[in-house]
Amino acid sequence: MTRRSSPHRLRQGFTTGSAAAAAAKAALSSLFTGLAPAEVDIPLPPGGRLAVPVESACLVEGGASARATVVKDGGDDPDATHGARISCLATLGSSGEPDAENFVGQERAVTGGTLPAPGKVVVEGGRGVGRVTLPGLPVPVGRAAINPVPLAQIERAACEAMEESGYTGRVRLVLEVEDGEAMARRTLNPRLGVVGGISILGTQGIVMPFSLEAWKATIDSGLEVARAAGCTTAAFATGRRGERLLMARRSSLPELAFIQAADFFAYATQRAVQMGFSEIVWGCFFGKLAKMAQGLPSTHAHASPTDFVALAELAGQAGADAGTCLEVSRANTARHALEIVPEGLVRERFVAKAAAKALEAARGFAIVASDPGAGTCQAASPRLGVCCFGFEGGVLAEAYTS
């Protein structure tokens, strides 16, 4: 999909998942050829390729293994892991229990491409890679904090190196991050129960720079282009995956109607009102929905914590028993809270109530924007909608104003 460019273009970077995948491919290439690649070409989770520079690669342990290191580049406005030295120690013919096994089911399908047979590539977290100690994350408790999509990306990159060399055996990949434990203290990992290092993350493989003014300019540009093209609906998504799901859900809308608004819940809603859109719809996952239901203008993780007490109240209103509500109030993440609520009618009501609260917040932002002094061509009462998707696809809840 061709994306519209921002008038304030910032340099993209790549994720810790891409850095780890590049280190894995470089280590295996070095092990197979004895040469140290200066750059490797890796697959990206949604499709496409990325050339990643390799800081170093060499044989170790008498030639039985190879280690490669990649420096993570966060691009402009980098996050706490910018500059992290992510290494991979690759060994052939290994056996044993992996730290990041094939536990993720359908989420692996988003990466496409060829994946090795189960057990062919064993991925482990070493020094500086965090370990999950609390539920609510997409990685089981006790495992290395290597999320499902980057895990599949690492396996695909390793598979490519194996196919290029004709190697058909097993490989063991141990990921390490220099000073990862200290680096993790500048992230949300300690609060989420990930201890001992950073997480290996990235659903897209690349990092879109997060600059407040640049993002707002991008939202404005998207809305202006959509309005000029005659679009009457502004379809916002908090990320790329949500945008793809919203596009499928609202397939009758033109591509120009869809705009990635990231965490700018209030700003994007108000600008769409001021520009005269007759319908404004948001597509998101439950983590963002919980923040929207709180009425927060920004849903960014650092803007304000999730109100688990409020979620517990919604769970009670949905019919959850007192024990479940207490667990929800003590949840680790919004996803964890959702998983605590029993599947079936109670969970459906729980998400529906959260969507209704988010819709109420959107209505409040829209009313503010409808003030005559806020803009010149705003719609008097645009139709508002919120669509919450499941983590593995499907719609959990939808809410619209009449």
pLDDT, tens digit (0-9, with 9 covering 90-100), for 191-235? 788 999 999 998 889 887 665 666 787 788 889 888 988 999 999
Q: Does pLDDT of 145 surpass 90?
A: yes
- What's the CA gap between 86 and 70, in Å, rounded? 5
Structural domains of the chain sorted by starting position, each given as residue range(s) with its CATH number in brackets: 13-207 (3.30.2110.10), 212-400 (no CATH)
* pLDDT value at residue 18: 97
Q: For position 189, what pLDDT does the model report?
A: 86
The answer to whether 210 touches 298, Cβ cutoff 8 Å, is no
Buried b (16+ CB within 10 A) or exposed e, 109-134: ebbeeebbeeeebbbbbbebbbbbee
Distance CA 19, CA 81 (A): 11
- DSSP code, position 144: B
- Please give the DSSP secondary-structure letter assigned to residue 173: E
pLDDT surpassing 90 at residue 401: yes
Highest mean pLDDT among 85-99, 100-114, 125-139, 148-162: 148-162
Residue 184 is classified by DSSP as H
- Rounded distance between C-alpha atoms, residue 362 and residue 295, angstroms: 8
Strand partners, 67: 58, 89
Percent over 90 (pLDDT), the chain? 68
Span 363-396, pLDDT tens digits: 999 988 766 554 444 445 899 999 999 988 899 9
At residue 44, what are phi and psi to the nearest 5 degrees? -100, 145
Which pLDDT score is estimated for 11? 81
In tens, the pLDDT along 93-119 reads: 865 556 654 433 334 433 455 666 667
Cα→Cα distances 215→88, 209, 240, Å: 34, 9, 14
Going 304 to 305 to 306 to 308, the CA torsion angle's sign is negative
pLDDT, residue 85, reads 98
Phi, psi of 135 (to 5 degrees): -75, 170
Q: Give the span between the Cα atoms of 176 and 213, in whole angstroms.
A: 35
What proportion of the chain, given as a percentage, has pLDDT over 70?
A: 87
- pLDDT at residue 210, as a whole number: 61
Task: Report the alpha-carbon distance of residue 75 to residue 241 in Å, rounded.
Answer: 21
Q: Check whether 175 has a pLDDT greater than 60.
A: yes
